[in-house]
Structure 1
Amino acid sequence: EYELVVGDVDRLRRLNEALGHERTDLVLSALASRLAAAFPQDASAARIGEDEFAIIVPKTAAHTSYRVREALEQPLRVAGFDIYPTVSIGALVVEGGPDAPDAAELLRRVELAVESAKAAGRGGSAAYGRALESDSLSRLALEADLRNAFVRGEIVPFFQPIVNLNTGAVAGFEALARWRHPRRGLVPPDEFLGLTADLGMMNELGLLMMTQSARQLAEWLERHPLAGRLFCSVNLSVGEIERPHLCEDVARVIKESGLPRGALKLEVTEGDIMRDTERAAEVLQSLKDVGASLALDDFGTGFSSLSYLARLPFDTLKIDRYFVLTMNKDEGSAKIVKSVVNLGRDLSLEVVAEGVENAELARLLLEAQCHYGQGFGYAPALPAQEAEVYLAESLADGSAPIKQRSA
């Protein structure tokens, strides 16, 4: 009897985007060396995929999963960067004998455990059991439903208000994808966005969101002329900035919807920029030329923002919600928020703070002279009809109320 344990390095794609293939390979090599050193000679370790390590140990070995995690999650420094890996772990106890499954079946089972661990969030662990087989069948059914969801129009944008902190008025919305499943109801994004990526449908989702959001924004502008320079932000998925015909699609969406220049705002992550900065600069400028405005999302969480920010045609910086949520409790977060706001002002960029959960955070952001805020303190992402009601009430009252909750 022995134990098969597989560790899947979380967010390797994000690491690859930030560091590049060569540096990421150094990270993986270091992890492999640590794993090999953590176990006795009667254990067998191997890299079995781009981001996966497997180890087989006698069942008499103690705390195998814990030791795998301890080996792989120690921080390391590569090319001047501090890396803090996390690992999702799946485990399987294997009994020998003539009826034992073959290697392919064993790997299939332990991969089910890994997927279960990943579903629980980064750094999770799970052991294989028969219940996972049922979960796997459910995932297959969900995959089939998701493919049909695009055809049936079940994927729709919800809209989270973005509020002008100086005036309190709604300045725009961020469009976020939601799935209205005919039997399960509203499927949470964390249950289908990863699946959409696994199916290779993120570009399709991005175009759908742009088209529907632009059309909806145009209708609101027509019905509510007092809304002025209302905008709508749409996220570009990882790698979408590199897809062929992106600029042509954006130009067509803006033309067909009749939106004014800058009303459709595209949010780009830092990882997308860093893969090929020169190529990204060309694409971003082309997107600006066809009438889109541009926001750099989750600013401050990457590795080398300042090295390229001044020469890329962004209009907006978005401060990651972590810094905003903790700015009233952590002096470091407060300084980062103020620094980003000051940087935005120096570069003539607007700044949006995500994660505004209460009136105190809104006050602190206003004192820091941040332009816009969004978060549950104002409203969650709303269906289009409710978002329009929220907009209309804001226009009637002159401001969008924030929940008076304690921090």
Structure 2
Amino acid sequence: MSGTSDGPAPAADLVGPAITESYDTTSSGTSQPSPLSDDPPLTSEDRLLNPPVEAPSPTPSVDAPPLTPAADQPPFSPATGPQPVSFGAAFTAAPLAMAVVDREGLVVTANGTMGSLLGTGAEALVGKVAADLLDLSSDARTWHAYREVLRGRQAKLRCTRRVKHPDGHSLWAQVTVTPLPEAEKAVLLSVADISVRRELQARLRHLQMHDPVTRLPNRTLFFERLSAALEADSYEESGTGRIGLCYLDLDGFKAVNDTLGHRVGDRLLAAVAERLTHCADEAGHGRPTTPLVARLGGDEFALLVEDSTGTEQLAELAESVLKAIQEPFDLSGQRLSVSASIGVVERHAAGTSATGLMQAADTTLYWAKADGKARWTLFDPERNAHRMTRQALSSGLRPAIERGEFALEYQPLVGMEDGRVRGVEALVRWHHPQFGTLTPNRFIGLAEEDGSIVQLGRWALKTACRQARRWQLERPDEPPLFVSVNVAVRQVWDSDLVADVAETLTETGLAPHLLQLELTESAVMGSAGRPLQALQALSEMGVRIAIDDFGTGYSNLAYLSRLPVSVLKLDGSFVRGFQYEGTDAHPNPADEVIVEAMIQLAHRLGLTVTAECVETSAQATRLRRIGCDTGQGWLYSRPVPPDRITELVEGEGCRK
């Protein structure tokens, strides 16, 4: 190989044990060397490695006769005064490995240290290709920079190479290539053995990248490997092009630390790490790669599968991990049994980011916990889309109230005997700018979780009462309609509901008996303390209290007689068991018996009964026959805007 070749290095020269760790070059521009006559006078340092051109020897030697330094800078000895200096002797005895290389890339001369470094004599290096000795052509970037220095178009090259010694061991060497004066057409190549420093750096990096408790790769190294795997798959066609992740944590690990101490907890983590590593080794048997096991922090672990073959492979790995962890642990006399929850994600690597993959894994782990723990759950895009929608709705609830995106629709409450509208139930709708009109089942639960139900409930109460008062003023000669408003238990705990109702009635001018508040059965039946006091205060004010969805919760009939309740609303599941008109559905006699018994009980307690989900005239007929007071359902009307209620009331009434 010629050191001055302009073409790319041969393929064999681009592959070798040496790798470039650091790379440093200094450019001197592209100007050509000046003629010899224009060179500045040589200094003493110039003469150190550049014997006179006019008297070259057949084989360049560093043992040139002593030279007398320039007159303006005489050598000086404290003992004897100025003395001649042997620069060739200094080159030969230098502890730094050095060699002079000509512009063709061939070694002109080398000192003994260079010979020892490369495991040969200095004389044996003369005439050898320097790039081959130090593997400078193993990567294209270093090879190009080296040739630029040889040509005089670059001032310096510094790189790190891994050099194999003839006795078999390898060493790390820092190689520096610097041009010598142009008159000599040569470069100085120096090599420093940095193996000790590299070993120390490697040990420090290992400590930084591994968990001290489990000795597994830590979070930093895991994300480094994950990012590298995703980046490699983005441009490499080899492998499957897929990536998988099992993200797990131990169920109830905090209890172990709290009861047995952190020392036992650390031993448990180390034991879990051993079992995970064993599972990874078994999963990698016969495959190109073995899953990477890492501890991400606390009791969280991850198993990264590069070039996965599909969800089946990840499912098998997750199953083996669950079984391995469920086996009891014996820790210094402590026998512990634990379980784990695992989120499993498997997808194409292309287009996947490390952050996105971890977010999906974290979400799936949460699903596994929510579904009962001690299990693995596979990432579901549809379920995740629902979660994302839920998150978007939750974060937008409070601003939506302020922007006026909510509206009320009203569903008639109809007297069973005459079919006339007696009142209405106010049902909130969210006109979402992105998801369209949403019914309460899409957002009420979210509002209860984040507390915005208080603000939303207060708005619904005032809006409904204001509308009921407007209907009353529009029809002064007709019996007024009452309005029924749903109230969440959190409204009772987190706000002064009694004060809110009193203020609203005063502000709107609506009579208390024209307001009905609906609470679910499970909430009302367990009322005690402040909730019970609030209900009693509202009842004494004249407001009617209704139990919604009665018959599906905790029906404590003895407790029912002590509550200030005036209305029971039977859950629609009972009514659906009645005979349907024009269908082959068979009635459920038990439903009718239960409904009749509840109506009789309510009447004996002085309560009225409203049946929900009345959809056919046959259902209405049976309810009327067994004494139900009012009905609500699509037979009479769907929830409609306020002006449609006016039309229904002014008409002949709803169907009986």
Normalising by structure 1, report the TM-score: 0.68
Mapping for residues 113-262 of structure 1, pairs under 5 Å: 127-128=378-379, 138-182=389-433, 184-262=435-513
SS for the counterpart of 2:538 is helix
Aligned to 1:367: 625
Mapping for residues 330-341 of structure 1, pairs under 5 Å: 330-341=588-599
CA displacement 1:250-300 (0-9 Å, x = unmatched): 011111111123101001122223444354332211012233111111111
Bigger-Rg structure (1/2): 2
Mapping for residues 318-329 of structure 1, pairs under 5 Å: 318-328=569-579, 329=587
Amino acid at match of 1:280: P
2-structure distance, mates of 1:115, 1:390? 50
1-structure distance, mates of 2:549, 2:556? 11
Extract unaligned runs of 5+ from structure 2.
1-243, 250-274, 277-302, 304-312, 321-340, 348-352, 580-586
Cα drift, residue 184 of structure 1 = 4.2
2-structure distance, mates of 1:150, 1:160? 22
1:105–1:242 distance in 2 versus 1, CA, 3 Å = same
2-structure distance, mates of 1:283, 1:345? 24
SS for the counterpart of 2:506 is helix
SS for the counterpart of 2:489 is coil
Aligned to 1:92: 344
The reply to whether residue 388 of structure 1 matches residue 643 of structure 2 is: no
2-structure distance, mates of 1:136, 1:62? 23
Aligned mate of 1:59, from 315, 318, 322: 315
SS for the counterpart of 1:159 is strand
Q: Contact between 2:498 and 2:537, CA under 8 Å: does it hold in 1?
A: yes
SS for the counterpart of 1:298 is strand
1-structure distance, mates of 2:369, 2:476? 49
- Runs of 4+ with deviation above 4 angstroms: 1-6, 61-64, 99-107, 111-117, 129-141
Q: Which structure would you say has the larger RCO, counting Cα contacts within 8 Å and 6 or more residues apart?
A: 1
SS for the counterpart of 2:466 is helix
2-structure distance, mates of 1:94, 1:245? 50
1-structure distance, mates of 2:425, 2:451? 23
Aligned mate of 1:306, from 536, 557, 560: 557
The reply to whether residue 400 of structure 1 matches residue 651 of structure 2 is: no
Equivalent pairs, count: 321
1:282–1:133 distance in 2 versus 1, CA, 3 Å = closer
1:110–1:361 distance in 2 versus 1, CA, 3 Å = same
Q: Contact between 2:465 and 2:515, CA under 8 Å: does it hold in 1?
A: yes
1-structure distance, mates of 2:531, 2:631? 27
Extract unaligned runs of 5+ from structure 1.
7-41, 44-55, 65-88, 118-124, 403-407
2-structure distance, mates of 1:133, 1:306? 42
Q: Contact between 1:234 and 1:266, CA under 8 Å: does it hold in 2?
A: yes
2-structure distance, mates of 1:126, 1:190? 26
The reply to whether residue 344 of structure 1 matches residue 602 of structure 2 is: yes
CA displacement 1:211-232 (0-9 Å, x = unmatched): 0000000000111234414211
Amino acid at match of 2:548: D
1:383–1:315 distance in 2 versus 1, CA, 3 Å = same
CA displacement 1:97-124 (0-9 Å, x = unmatched): xx9889985652316767999xxxxxxx
Normalising by structure 2, report the TM-score: 0.44
Aligned mate of 1:317, from 555, 565, 568: 568
SS for the counterpart of 2:363 is helix
2-structure distance, mates of 1:152, 1:198? 21
